[in-house]
Amino acid sequence: MPRTRSEMKEDDEIDIKITPPTTSSPSTKVKTTTTKKTPKIRTPPPSGLRQRIKNTVDEISKDAEELHVRLKKKDDGHYKLLAPGTPFNEIDLSESTFFRHGDHLKRKTWKSWLFGRKFFFPAGVILGVCLALWAVDLTGLPADMKDIWTTLPAALDPRDLLANLTVVEGARKALENRDFTVGESLVEQYGLHKHHPIILIPGIVSTGLESWGTETVARSFFRKRLWGTSTMIRAVLTNKERWIQALSIDPETGLDPPGFKIRAAQGLDAASEFIQGYWIWQKIVENLATLGYDTNSMDMAAYDWRLAYYNLETRDAYFTRLKYKIEVMRRHNGQKVVLCSHSLKWVESNPEENGFGGGGGAAWVEENIDSWVNVAGTMLGVSKAMTAFLSGEMRDTVELHPAGSWVLEKFFSRRERAKLFRRWPGSTSMWMKGGNRMWGNHSAAPDDPENATDTHGRFFSFRHPGTSEKEETLTKWTVSPNLTLNEAGPYVLTHTPPNFQRMMESNYSVGFEGNVEQLKKNDRDHTKWSNPLEVRLPEAPSMKIYCLYGHGKETERSYWYMQGEYEQDDSRSDAENEDAFCDSSDPSNGCDNSTSLRVPLDFPLSRKHWIDSAVSVKGSKPEVRSGVKFGDGDGTIPVVSLGSMCLKGWNGTTKWNPAGIPVVTQEYLHSPESLDLRGGAQTADHVDILGATPLNTAILKIAAGRGDLITQQIGSKIFEYIKKQDWD
């Protein structure tokens, strides 16, 4: 039996017989031959490379002789080649990789490991980190960096890791592919198919925005999405100031700022995904497609959500085009349209009489719309919209890990965020509506928990500077002012620039109207149309309304705040003409497009505000954490806002629903799967619910003409809440 190289002794030799290569023997080992030189008649070389190589090998092989060589193992364990009479004699083979492949069989000692690179490199890194921590004076760190340090874990408990082994089943569910499954199951169970054409209208910030500006300042962004997709992230990281300038609306005109032109993306892709992999409407589109829907029967009416509704029609003719789209889809499909939208009042209004409207008349909705599906609509507003306008904050920012909060503040400060929110007039539609009637007073709020120790009615509570955040020190002497919503709204407005106040006044109304005659007059006032408490539903008795939303997820409801010193308000209008093209990213230009020179006796009128994240009261009712008081909702919108109009204001024939349009409400309990980043099939989160099975099931049944299968389903305490509201 032949021996392996590792079994050879030092005096061992191996005889090797090398045969010449032939065209029929491709397994050549060594190409060493001796040929006889005989004169040949040269023929023109073949043109192909493959043929030339074949001819050369055949020519060398004709007169080749056999060659015997030997491998000899030297004293040092290496090998040399013995081939007397050839150029290969005495060649040292110690550097050949072929003869080193068995080196790993040598047993390494602990000394070779200890003094090897695999030990010294990680040991050096650990030692360096330890020395750095020992040398750094932690007392000299900024206060926010100290907070980061104190939150780092002191030790890693292996029991925590073992406990996570119990989530294997959750991991399996999280990895299951649920694409198209809702539609397929409904087709199998009920035989559903395409019936009503459907138009999806995204919510605030859902639609992608792309640049169409060709001025020098905007040309690098041309046809790129500055909101949505990874392009937005690159734009923010590489040129934040230019990105903010492009996404801002001119505060004086309410339209495009000079030098920039941003428009909403169009089609189903406009809001199917926000960033690749983070779906929004994609799951609903997929499931509708299983019923037979396509672009002839399904569309996405995307819009520039930054604009106020009036300017959305003025600049983009959005509502006019939406009206025509509905009419075309109804004629083409032979059925009324199912619509997920914000308002139907515009289309009825006579533009000649009221100066604004679609001119459809009172019968238009009845003739063209089968159903209005209100998915997690911000009916009475959103709490965190108020804090965004006041200080550029919300629960998402104050509950960040201190490291993340520090980075966010350094890169995109509260002041910058507040300024940008105020430059988006469309987002003001989320301003809280109805005042104390709907949201409570100093004594109580409709959605206060049982045995409450505090109340959501005090929407803003300001802790005095120097007062401890401990519960026993928070008294009426150390906490003031306490503002209800009636007081908080004007307070926020007085701490915003005058142009924002003018925009608010000319486009929105946030009050309550119970007088029937005044409600009729409001039909002709476009500033009322985004507030369901001040406008009537259309005269469309055969239309149906479905309110579908989530509950059971803690949602920010009211806040603790701090007031800082007064400061100059640097907000101003966008520059005009050539001044608008001053590139603030280049320091040599001497501009920042955000500040103006101060004048003598120009007193500071603005004031710093921030959510008082130091206040966290354990065991309080409602729960208080990081300066935020929590209530029930879908993680973004409180239940009071989601359900009050559906179950009270529009329920039956009322002042706000004179035609008695039937309204069906379904609440979905938030039941997320722990390992699914988007919550899984039973989530009720404000955005993730668009991929949840119950919501997709309801929308598909309605679109397929089986809205009769949708019945009322209430799980929250919304009926208790609306009894405590003042509707008279």
Q: Give the residue numbers marked as catalytic.
A: 343, 634, 686
Helix H segments across 478-523?
485-494, 498-507, 516-522
What is the helix (H) or strand (E) element at residue 69, kind and residue range? strand 67-73
| Backbone phi, psi, residue 263, to 5° | -130, 155
CA 644/CA 446 separation, integer angstroms: 11
How many Cα neighbours within 13 Å face the side chain of 110? 0
CA 634/CA 350 separation, integer angstroms: 37
CA 671/CA 683 separation, integer angstroms: 5
Q: Which residue has the tokens 């910030």?
A: 205
CA 243/CA 211 separation, integer angstroms: 11
Give the residue from 213, 291, 260, 118 showing the smallest Cα distance to 575.
260
CA 647/CA 644 separation, integer angstroms: 6
Query: Which distant-in-sequence residues (6+ apart) come within 8 Å of 530 by Cβ?
Result: 309, 342, 343, 429, 508, 509
DSSP letter string, 94-127: TT-GGGGTTGGGSPPPHHHHHTSHHHHHHHHHHH
Distances (CA, A) of 438 to 21, 388, 726, 727: 95, 21, 7, 8
CA triple 481-422-550, angle to 5 deg:
80
Distance of alpha carbon 353 from the chain centroid: 42
CA 255/CA 261 separation, integer angstroms: 9
Contact 637, 203 (CB under 8 A): no
The first and second tokens of residue 476, run together, are 């009426």
Contact 654, 400 (CB under 8 A): no
End-to-end CA distance of the chain: 105
CA 532/CA 530 separation, integer angstroms: 6
Query: Which distant-in-sequence residues (6+ apart) come within 8 Å of 618 by Cβ?
Result: none
Give the residue from 389, 390, 432 showing the smallest Cα distance to 562.
390
Q: Which residue has the tokens 């099975």?
A: 693
CA 312/CA 304 separation, integer angstroms: 7
Q: Regarding beta strands 544-551 and 369-375, do their DSSP bridges make them parallel or antiparallel, or are they unpaired?
A: parallel
Q: Which residue has the tokens 């007397």?
A: 84
Distances (CA, A) of 715 to 643, 711, 718: 11, 13, 8
Query: Which distant-in-sequence residues (6+ apart) come within 8 Å of 105 by Cβ?
Result: 6
State the DSSP code for 646. I
Contact 605, 496 (CB under 8 A): no
Burial (0-12, 13-18, 19+ Cβ within 10 Å), 561: buried
What is the helix (H) or strand (E) element at residue 17, kind and residue range? strand 13-18
Distance of alpha carbon 95 from the chain centroid: 57
Handedness of CA 76, 81, 85, 86 (dihedral sign): negative
